[in-house]
Amino acid sequence: QIELVESGGGSVQAGGSLTLSCSVSGNTYIDHCLAWFRQAGGNEREGVATIYSGGGRTYYSDRVKGRFTISLDNAKKILYLQMNDLKPEDTAKYYCALDLTSGGRCFLTAVRFGYWGQGTQVTVSS
Cβ proximity of 122 and 17 under 8 Å: no
Strands 120-125, 10-13: pairing is: parallel
Task: Report the distance separating Cα 11 and Cα 6, nearest Å.
Answer: 15
pLDDT of residue 103: 76
DSSP string, 7-47: E--EEEETT--EEEEEEEES---S--EEEEEEE-TTSPPEE
User: What mean pLDDT is reported for the chain?
Assistant: 94
Mean pLDDT of 9-28: 95
